[in-house]
Amino acid sequence: MKIKRLEHVAITVKDMDRARKTWVDVLGIAQEYEEEVQETRLAMLPVGETYIELLQAVGPNSPVHGWMEKAGESLWHLCFEVEDIDEAVVELKGKGVKLLNEVPRPGHGGSRIVFLDPASTGNVLIELAEVLRPLSPSPARRV
């Protein structure tokens, strides 16, 4: 498995518009795009080759919803970009790493993602993403 870079740092927020005031207005980080995936509103803010991903639950089935009930607004996970997500899954399973989803599913910007079980990673939630180039979120609302 080839990890190419830290793709994003995910942060859960209660109110996207309020959070954007801090990240965009105060810190001056431009938002690249916004979209909804699995009842989750997300905004991607590039910082060099990495993104800050702001996540807000917009429905009860959002994975963010359960996290927010336990931890509130907080750092949620780290995402690493991999060259080949299918190859990464096979390699990790061969090493005995537990995955929360063994079949890659759609993620941000049209990417394919899997999550590693924190029980296998020192209690850190890690996402792996095979990112399509050029970035083409769908359906997205560019801001």
What CATH number matches the domain at 3-141, 3.40.50.300, 3.10.50.40, 3.10.180.10, 3.40.640.10? 3.10.180.10
65-74, 86-95, 112-121, 129-138: lowest mean pLDDT where? Answer: 129-138
Phi and psi, residue 84, nearest 5°: -140, 105
50-57 and 3-12: which strand pairing? parallel
Tell me, what's the pLDDT at 132? Answer: 84
Reference 50, options 112, 109, 91, 6; nearest CA is 6
Beta-carbon count within 10 A of 123 CB: 7
pTM for the structure as a whole: 0.89
The Cα–Cα gap between 107 and 48 comes to 21
Measure the CA–CA gap between 124 and 23, rounded to whole angstroms: 24
Where along the chain do its domains lie? 3-141
- At 139 the pLDDT is 41
Separation CA 132–CA 112 (nearest Å): 8
- pLDDT tens digits, 13-43: 999 999 999 999 999 999 999 999 999 999 9
Q: What mean pLDDT, rounded, does the chain reach?
A: 92
The pLDDT tens digits for 73-112 are 999 999 999 999 999 999 999 999 999 999 999 999 999 9
pLDDT score at 136: 41
Structure tokens at 70: 């336990």
At residue 79, the pLDDT reads 98
pLDDT class of 137 with cuts at 50, 70, 90? very low
Tell me the C-alpha distance between 127 and 66, whole Å: 17
- Predicted confidence at residue 28, as pLDDT, reads 97
Rounded Cα distance, 116 and 85, in Å: 12
Instruction: Check residue 134 and give its pLDDT.
Output: 54
CA 25, distance to chain mean position in Å, is: 22
pLDDT for 34 equals 96
Q: Where is 130: in which H helix or E strand?
A: strand 126-130
pLDDT of 86 reads: 97
> Parallel, antiparallel, or unpaired: how do β-strands 126-130 and 74-82 relate?
parallel
pLDDT at 142 over 70: no
